[in-house]
């Protein structure tokens, strides 16, 4: 009777992985450290980087093979391994996952800026879809920039009237901060935008979406009027 193939565990980054990282950090012998890494850690780092790249669609790269990119990230993770301290309460999966996301955000932003020649404005909508408006007309771009400044000013001055709850106001301000930095920060992917906001305000994605929806409603309702009349009626 043929033997059944053993199913591979979906949990590639386990408590055993974390224990191995701690053991690696506490071991001085280079040869032993190398064996610990190859046997217990490398595969977890490989899968972690692979999953984050594809989940958040970090595809603005300078390499043809994504495994080469993973190698760069893993090399960076190795340089940060000694900083992991489980006594601070963080789990290794979350700790190193955050490092990977931050590295990829910076890397993708840099490469995205090299590639684009047109302005793209990503708008979050209630149905969760992404809309990219390619603006080639400098007049339209100028109008949008002027309106954006007015929109930011209005929401900033009235943030606690629009969002009475302190936590909601903090999320709204985090979103506005991305708008304020729009000249130096390209929002290349909606999921990446959520990462930025979660880095600034520790909240769940559905909460961010709720606040973003409200801001979008205000933005959209007044923008058409601004284009037609040349002024905002906030």
Model pLDDT for residues 193-229, shown as the tens digit of each residue: 667 677 667 777 788 889 988 998 888 888 877 777 7
Measured distance CA(73)–CA(50) in Å, rounded: 10
Q: Is the pLDDT of residue 141 over 90?
A: no
Secondary structure of 118-143 as H, E, C letters: CEEEEEECCCCCEEEEEECCHHHHHH
% of residues, the chain, pLDDT over 90: 37
State the pLDDT at residue 185: 56
Q: Is the pLDDT of residue 233 over 70?
A: yes
In this predicted structure, which of 12-16, 142-146, 173-177, 190-194 has the lowest mean pLDDT?
190-194
Please tell me which residue, 32 or 216, carries the higher pLDDT value. 32
State the pLDDT at residue 5: 42
Which pLDDT band, with edges at 50, 70 and 90, does 159 fall under? very high
DSSP 5: P
The pLDDT of 115-126, averaged and rounded, is 42
Please tell me which residue, 68 or 204, carries the higher pLDDT value. 68
Q: Is the pLDDT of residue 140 over 70?
A: no
The pairing of strands 119-124 and 130-135 is antiparallel
Q: Is the pLDDT of residue 176 over 80?
A: yes
State the pLDDT at residue 1: 45
Distances (CA, A) of 49 to 13, 25, 148, 232: 11, 21, 35, 45
Which pLDDT band, with edges at 50, 70 and 90, does 24 fall under? very high
Dihedral sign computed on CA atoms, order 59, 63, 67, 70: negative
State the pLDDT at residue 178: 79
| Integer-rounded Cα radius of gyration of the chain | 22
Residues 162, 175 contacting (CB under 8 angstroms): no
Measured distance CA(84)–CA(9) in Å, rounded: 25
Q: Residue length, the chain?
A: 234
Q: Is the pLDDT of residue 92 over 90?
A: yes
The pLDDT of 117-144, averaged and rounded, is 46
Burial of 70 (0-12, 13-18, 19+ CB in 10 A): buried
């Amino acid at each position: 009777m043929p033997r059944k193939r053993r199913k591979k565990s979906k949990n590639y980054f386990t408590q055993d992985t974390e224990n191995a990282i701690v053991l690696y950090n506490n071991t001085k012998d280079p040869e032993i450290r190398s064996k610990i890494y190859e046997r217990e850690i490398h595969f977890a780092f490989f899968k972690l980087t692979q999953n984050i790249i594809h989940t958040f669609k970090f595809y603005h790269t300078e390499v043809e093979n994504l495994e080469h990119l993973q190698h760069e990230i893993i090399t960076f993770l190795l340089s940060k391994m000694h900083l992991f301290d489980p006594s601070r309460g963080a789990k290794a999966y979350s700790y190193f996952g955050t490092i990977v996301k931050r590295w990829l955000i910076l890397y993708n932003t840099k490469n995205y800026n090299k590639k684009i020649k047109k302005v793209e404005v990503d708008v979050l909508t209630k149905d969760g879809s992404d809309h990219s408006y390619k603006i080639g007309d400098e007049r339209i771009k100028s109008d949008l920039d002027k309106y954006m400044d007015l929109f930011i000013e209005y929401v900033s001055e009235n943030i606690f009237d629009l969002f009475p709850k302190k936590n909601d106001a903090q999320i709204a301000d985090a979103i506005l901060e991305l708008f304020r930095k729009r000249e130096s920060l390209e929002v290349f992917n909606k999921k990446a935008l959520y990462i930025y906001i979660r880095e600034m305000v520790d909240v769940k994605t559905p909460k961010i979406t709720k606040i973003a929806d409200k801001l979008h409603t205000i933005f959209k309702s007044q923008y058409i009027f601004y284009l037609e009349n040349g002024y905002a009626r906030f």
